[in-house]
Amino acid sequence: MLLKRLVHGFVMALLCAGSVWAAPRRGSTLGRINELSYAEASRHMPVSVTATVTYFRSYENLLFVQDGDVAIYVKTPANLKLVPGDRVLIRGTSHESFRSYIQASNITLLHHGAPPAPVAATYRQMIRGEIDCRRVRVRALIRAADLTPSSIFLVPDTYLQMLVDGAHVDAHMDNRDGSVLKDLLDAEVEITGVVSGHFDNKMQQTGVLFHIQSPGDVKVLRRLRVDPWSLPVTPMDRVIIGYQMRDLSERMRVRGTITYYQPGTGLVLQDGGKSLWITAQAYQPLKVGDLADATGFPDVQNGFLALERGEVRDKGIAAPVAPAVSTWRGLAQGGNSAHSRVFDLVALEGQVVTEVRQATEDEYVLTADGHLVSAILRHPGSLSRTPLPEMKQVPVGARVRVTGICMLANADPFYGDVPFSIVMRSFDDVVIVKPAPWLDVRHLLYLVGLLLAVVFTVGARIWSIERRMRRQTAKVAEIEKRRSRILEGMNASRALADILAEIMDLVSFQLEGAPCWCEIADGMTAGRKPQDAVEEAQVERHPMVAPFAPELGTICVLCNDCSGSRQTEAVSMAAGLIALAVETSRLHADLVHRSEFDLLTDIHNRFSLETALGGLIEVARGAGTVFGLIYLDLNEFKGVNDRYGHRCGDAYLKKVTARMQGQLRPEDTLARVGGDEFAVLAPRVRCRGEAEEIALRLERCYDDPFAVDGNIIRGSASIGLALYPEDGTTKDALLNAADAAMYVEKRMKQGGCHPAPAEAEDGAHPVR
Contact 58, 46 (CB under 8 A): no
pLDDT of residue 15: 33
pLDDT band at 767 (very low <50, low <70, confident <90, very high): very low
pLDDT above 50: residue 71: yes
Residue 164: predicted pLDDT: 92
pLDDT (0 to 100) of residue 284: 83
Q: Give residues with Cβ within 8 angstroms of 111, minimum separation 6.
A: 86, 87
What's the CA gap between 54 and 103, in Å, rounded? 17
pLDDT score of 381? 60
Average pLDDT over residues 244-270: 88
DSSP string for 519-537: EETTS-EEE---SS---GG
Q: Which domains does the chain have, with CATH numbers?
A: 30-111 (2.40.50.200), 119-225 (2.40.50.140), 252-318 (2.40.50.140), 324-434 (2.40.50.550), 469-593 (3.30.450.40), 604-761 (3.30.70.270)
With 0-12 / 13-18 / 19 or more C-beta atoms within 10 angstroms meaning exposed / middle / buried, residue 172 is buried
Q: What is the pLDDT of residue 442?
A: 66
Q: What confidence tier does 230 reach under pLDDT thresholds 50, 70, 90?
A: confident
Residue 464 neighbours by CB under 8 Å, 6+ apart: none
Identify which has the larger pLDDT, 94 or 442: 94
pLDDT at residue 18 tops 60: no
Confidence of residue 411 (pLDDT cuts 50, 70, 90): low
Q: Percentage of residues in the chain with pLDDT exceeding 70?
A: 88
What is the tens place of the pLDDT at every residue in 541-574?
888 766 655 677 888 888 766 667 778 788 888 8
Mapped onto helix, strand or coil, the DSSP state of residue 450 is helix
Query: Which amino acid type is present at position 394?
Result: V
589 contact partners, CB below 8 Å, separation of at least 6: none
pLDDT the model gives residue 546: 61
Convert the pLDDT of each residue in 97-111 to its tens digit.
Answer: 878 899 999 999 999
Rg (CA), the chain: 37
Any residues with CB less than 8 A from the CB of 458 and at least 6 apart, and which? none
pLDDT score for 290: 94
Report, as an integer, the average pLDDT of 728-743: 90
34-59 mean pLDDT: 89
Kindly state the DSSP code that residue 27 receives in the 8-state scheme. Answer: T
Q: Is the pLDDT of residue 484 over 80?
A: yes
Tell me, what's the pLDDT at 192? 96
pLDDT in tens, 505-548: 888 888 878 888 888 877 788 888 887 766 766 788 888 766 65
Positive or negative: CA dihedral 567, 568, 570, 575? positive
Q: What is the mean pLDDT of residues 469-475?
A: 84
pTM here?
0.48
Pairing of strands 371-378, 135-150: unpaired
Q: What is the 3-state secondary structure (H, E, C) of 686-743?
A: CCHHHHHHHHHHHHHCCCCCEEECCEEEECCEEEEEEEECCCCCCHHHHHHHHHHHHH
Q: How far apart are CA 498 and CA 490, in angstroms?
A: 10
- Mean predicted confidence (pLDDT) in 422-446: 83
Q: Identify the weakest region by mean pLDDT among 55-69, 317-331, 538-552, 726-740.
A: 538-552
Q: Residue 203: pLDDT above 80?
A: no
pLDDT tens digits, 108-154: 999 999 999 999 999 999 988 889 999 999 999 998 888 877 555 56
Per-residue pLDDT at 550: 61
Q: Of 275-289, 362-376, 456-470, 618-632, which range is least confident?
A: 456-470
Q: Which residues pair with 755 in a beta bridge?
A: 713
Looking at residue 7, its pLDDT comes to: 36
pLDDT reading at 430 higher than 80? yes
Q: Tell me the per-residue pLDDT of 249-258, one tens digit each, with 9 for 90 and over.
A: 889 999 999 9
Residue 662's φ and ψ, nearest 5 degrees, are -70, -15
| Rounded-to-integer distance, Cα 486 and Cα 570, Å | 15
On average, the pLDDT of the chain sits at 82
In whole angstroms, give the CA distance from residue 630 to residue 611: 16
Which of 209-223, 296-310, 408-422, 601-615 has the lowest average pLDDT? 408-422
